[in-house]
Amino acid sequence: MTTTGSDAVTEDQISIDYFRKIDVRTAKVIECEKVQKSKHLLRIIVEAAGEKRQIVSSISDYYSPEEMIGKTILVVWNLEKATIMGLESQGMLLAVEKDDFLSLLTTDREAPSGLRVS
């Protein structure tokens, strides 16, 4: 358990071996559209090392589909699939969020898709 500054944060520590099980990769957004009948969802198609996957995420208040195309984002690649509004989501994009602020995690320079975060 750790406490940092004025924001008390409680965390369970994990081993490095457990962390290595989480497959976070760079992925390039190749398609994106608003999910019909949804206020906040985007249907995002990403490509990582030649493999395409669909991710459904509630980020449309922060990013338009047009803004997403071409971005290299960080994705949890080995997350269990989930169904959201009838659409299969095959991963999870990583972002930071607080109150009315959200920012996607990306690389600080151009990086090929499919690279594993280490």
The string of pLDDT tens digits covering residues 49-98 is 999 999 999 999 999 999 999 999 999 999 999 999 999 999 999 999 99
Least confident stretch, 14-18, 40-44, 71-75, 101-105: 14-18
* Total structural domains within the chain: 1
- Residue 10 inside a domain? The answer is no
DSSP assigned state of 39: S
- Residue 55 inside a domain? The answer is yes
CATH of the domain at 96: 2.40.50.140
Is 0.85 topped by the overall pTM? yes
Domain that holds residue 32: 22-104
Say what the pLDDT of residue 7 is: 54
Kindly tell me if the per-residue pLDDT of 2 is higher than 90: no
Say what the pLDDT of residue 89 is: 98
Q: Which residues of 2-23 are buried (b: 16+ CB within 10 A; e: fewer)?
A: eeeeeeeeeeeeeeeeeeeeee
